[in-house]
Structure 1
Amino acid sequence: GFAPFTKNTEGSTCEAIMFFEAFGTHFMEQVNGKYVITLDKEKAIEAILFYKRLMQYAPPGANDMGHSERIAAFSDGKVFSMFQWPGIIPTHENEDESLVAGKIIYTAPPAGPARRAAVRGCWILGIPKASKNVEAAAEFAYWLNSHDAGKKLAEDGMTPVRTDLLTDPELLAKSPWYQGMAESGLFAVSRPNRVTYYPEISEKIKVNWLAAVTGAVDPETAVDNMISQVQELLDKYEK
């Protein structure tokens, strides 16, 4: 079985972007400093149709699955595969909460017709323009992202992002899924989240993606709506 993301969450946007990429099309790209939609409609429809086929192997209630439903289905052994957020993995490996603890294999997503693709997160360290301590803030950011600080944080339960930490033998002994994360990073793509209005873009992507994969509208209509609605946002903000 397969555990899809079918509730209105950021996970749905991530899966849409990931499947588009796996089928060979980028949703958006920057051209001369501005975002433009570059989604290939035919490939996007193929991605949606494939996702719908995967949903045939999902458990009952597949059209209404968010984080909690996916976690429960996988931890109860009702599905054998899904794409998961690293921060949730310890729940699956907790023997008090999961029937599959210690039995899970972690890998990068399998390849689509065009490529393998995973999606990066969007947590960042930022310095406000109004800051009066820019140099000190930058120094702190460098320290926080250092190997030594990262290893200490990982030992205290925070998920690392550095490859040298994800492949650290001591950390892998405790968190073997880090190897799968490191592998996924080789194929990871970004969401178009470098703009302040990204939440609005995400909403248009996931609402139309979900409408298509759950059968509320046909894939072609969903892709047309997705493109036109995001284009309206670009026309509004990318001036």
Structure 2
Amino acid sequence: MKNKSLWIMLLIGMFALNVSAAEITVTYMQSGTYDKAAEKIKADFEKNTGITVELVAAPWAVLNQNHITDLTTGTGEFDVMSGEFWIASVFEHMLSLDEFVTRDKYGDTFIERIWSPGPSNFYGGKRIGVPYSADAYGILYRTDLFEKYGIDANWQTWDEFIDRLKKLKDALAGTDIAANVYAWGAPEQNPAIFLGMYDGYLVNKDGAYQLEKDKAVVALQKMAGLLEYNPSNAVGLSIDEANAVFLDGKAATLICWPSFVRAAADDPAKSKVVGNWRLAHFPGPGFPMVSAWNLFISTYSDNPEESWEWIKAYSNPERAKEFMLEFGIGSPHRVTYEDEELLKQHAHDYPGQLDNLSRAKSLPWTFEAFEIFFRNTGELMIGSITPEQVVENSQAAWAEIKVPTALVEIADAQGLKQK
């Protein structure tokens, strides 16, 4: 009996040692936001769970390449990985999270669209990613100017929005305030406007990249027409520079990623529009492009349970609220935008954010496909090529690209695949 008790105590001790010794490596983009949020919770997580966490932060391109190399070689250096559809070529090496989600009754606090395929990453019909951030393209507008000139902001389509721009341009003639500003000098952002104006498919029946040419040409023509309402130097403006124009009170509307500007727009030390701006509906007939970082668990991880504990600790309603307020990280959780105290402070912002996130979709393009398209739109905006040539050039180059299975699935799930 003594020997049996001794063995039980020994086994318990070995199990406790194994749990306390568990170590996971977690990656984030080096951004000063996501990585800093992880650093903030690391000590408490380790204290509460006994799990040691090594955080690895890297610039966007390096981060993606690290993941692709690790998973294709089976090295298994990383347990929990931050990523999006850009690394779809290695989705087959990500662990299905369905059993964890079901067992822990996890996920009912998320915005439905963000918890669905596209913003949430799936492979073979199984969930492999959990979103921890969410931002969707939106339009900020000056409430004081709209009120002054009797212009309403209840647009639903781009045609209706452009009608407002025409009225603003006329009303603001003779002033140094532009009707609109956008970062045309950052051509990688152009697809966001195109996708809002385009209501066709992105992947054809055969699983290849393709646009509906007539619809695409109309959208590109409309996109190029926005320059008429922008400052004269608009084609050279970076994201930060375009945001600065709005913050300085020199534009009536700003097309942007709200997370890049909301904190500054409400800061009297950085903004001349404090108390005079609101986040509006991103027009259709297309959709707002979403940026939704996910956390994945590698199939090569020796500690999937511990990795799942980190995911739950990092992406939950309490942390999402905290991270949004402190770091500006857009919350993927619906309950953040339903918080009555937050709504009192952010009535000009959060309802519009929830509206746009609830309609947002994820791109089913590889980075190569994405780059081909945005570089052509950059040429369009400086007048080097026509909308027809953008479509023709893009589709000719796309013909050489094999679309990853995961991205075909993402396109189909979001209604972006030809029926």
Q: TM-score range by the shorter chain?
A: 0.7 to 0.9
Residue in 1 that maps onto 2:312:
142
1:226 maps to 2:394? yes
Which digits, 9 at most, give the CA deviation of each residue in 1:126-176, with x for residues without a partner?
Answer: 222321111221232133222223223334333312122123222233334
1:103 maps to 2:273? no
- Answer yes or no: is the 8 Å Cα contact 1:13–1:206 preserved in 2: yes
Q: 1:41: Cα distance to partner?
A: 0.7
- Answer yes or no: is the 8 Å Cα contact 1:49–1:213 preserved in 2: no
Residue in 2 that maps onto 1:62:
234
Moved more, 155-164 or 200-209: 155-164
Residue in 2 that maps onto 1:50:
222
Which digits, 9 at most, give the CA deviation of each residue in 1:190-227, with x for residues without a partner?
Answer: 1125xxxx222221111011212331101101111112
Q: Secondary structure at the match of 2:208?
A: strand
Residue in 2 that maps onto 1:153:
323
Aligned counterparts of 1:165 and 1:10: Cα–Cα separation in 2: 30
Quick one: which of 371, 385, 389 aligns to 1:203?
371
Aligned counterparts of 1:10 and 1:174: Cα–Cα separation in 2: 33
Q: Which amino acid aligns with 1:215?
A: G
Q: Which amino acid aligns with 1:98?
A: S
Q: TM-score, normalised by structure 2?
A: 0.50
CA gap 1:110/1:55 in 2 versus in 1, 3 angstroms = same
Which digits, 9 at most, give the CA deviation of each residue in 1:42-74, with x for residues without a partner?
Answer: 111111111122210100112112212211211
1:215 maps to 2:388? no
Q: 1:2: Cα distance to partner?
A: 1.6
1:123 maps to 2:293? yes
The structure in which a higher percent of residues are strand is 2
Which digits, 9 at most, give the CA deviation of each residue in 1:70-119, with x for residues without a partner?
Answer: 112111222211222122221222211111121111122123xxx25211
CA RMSD of aligned residues (A): 2.2
Quick one: which of 77, 83, 87 aligns to 2:259?
87
Q: Which amino acid aligns with 2:344?
A: A
- Answer yes or no: is the 8 Å Cα contact 1:9–1:66 preserved in 2: no
Q: How many residues align?
A: 224
Q: Secondary structure at the match of 1:82?
A: strand
Larger Rg: 2
Q: Secondary structure at the match of 1:171?
A: helix
Aligned counterparts of 1:63 and 1:149: Cα–Cα separation in 2: 38
Q: Which amino acid aligns with 2:370?
A: S
State how 1:5-16 maps to structure 2 within 5 Å: 5-16=183-194
Q: Which runs of 4+ in 1 moved over 4 A?
A: none
Q: Which amino acid aligns with 2:202?
A: F
CA gap 1:47/1:79 in 2 versus in 1, 3 angstroms = same
Q: Which amino acid aligns with 2:275?
A: G
Q: Secondary structure at the match of 1:44?
A: helix
CA gap 1:202/1:8 in 2 versus in 1, 3 angstroms = farther
- Answer yes or no: is the 8 Å Cα contact 2:279–2:352 preserved in 1: yes
- Answer yes or no: is the 8 Å Cα contact 1:117–1:189 preserved in 2: yes
Quick one: which of 174, 177, 182 aligns to 2:345?
174
Moved more, 176-185 or 148-157: 148-157
Aligned counterparts of 2:210 and 2:313: Cα–Cα separation in 1: 37
Q: TM-score, normalised by structure 1?
A: 0.84
Q: 1:122: Cα distance to partner?
A: 3.6
Q: 1:187: Cα distance to partner?
A: 1.8
- Gaps (5+ residues) in structure 2? 1-178, 406-419
Q: Secondary structure at the match of 1:37?
A: coil
CA gap 1:92/1:231 in 2 versus in 1, 3 angstroms = farther
- Answer yes or no: is the 8 Å Cα contact 2:188–2:375 preserved in 1: no
Q: 1:9: Cα distance to partner?
A: 4.9
Q: Percent of pairs identical after alignment?
A: 21
Q: Secondary structure at the match of 1:68?
A: helix
Residue in 1 that maps onto 2:247:
75
Quick one: which of 185, 188, 195 aligns to 1:17?
195
